[in-house]
Amino acid sequence: MIQVGVRQLRNALTRYLRLAEEGQPVLVTRSKQPIVLLQKPGRTSAQTEEEIVAGLIAEGKLIGPVKPGPFKPFKPIKMRGKPLSRMIIEDRR
């Protein structure tokens, strides 16, 4: 594993990114304290949006849809009178 300070990383960022891309982990330090580890992501670490949503549903942090899509296209409601944006501006005066 390569250790590099923040200043040295900033001066030679491309070099260290290339090393991380090749599979060599790069430990970035500030005042000799580790702050971040640069490494190429593994094949299993990249999740799709569907996997993330499924995980949140399983944890109970998200409620899944009652009916699966596709949904009807959104139709705006036609209203008479002034636009809401104009009413807000007038109210602020």
- In this predicted structure, what is the pLDDT of residue 74? 85
Q: Count Cβ atoms below 10 Å from residue 59 Cβ, excluding itself.
A: 8
Contact 79, 60 (CB under 8 A): no
Could you report the per-residue pLDDT of 47-57, keeping only the tens digit for each? 788 888 888 89
CATH architecture observed for domain 2-38: 3-Layer(aba) Sandwich (3.40)
Distance CA 38, CA 27 (A): 6
- In this predicted structure, what is the pLDDT of residue 33? 94
- In this predicted structure, what is the pLDDT of residue 8? 96
Could you report the per-residue pLDDT of 69-82, keeping only the tens digit for each? 787 888 888 888 98
Using the predicted structure, report yes or no on whether residue 44 has a pLDDT greater than 80: no
Give the start-to-end residue ranges of the domains of the chain: 2-38
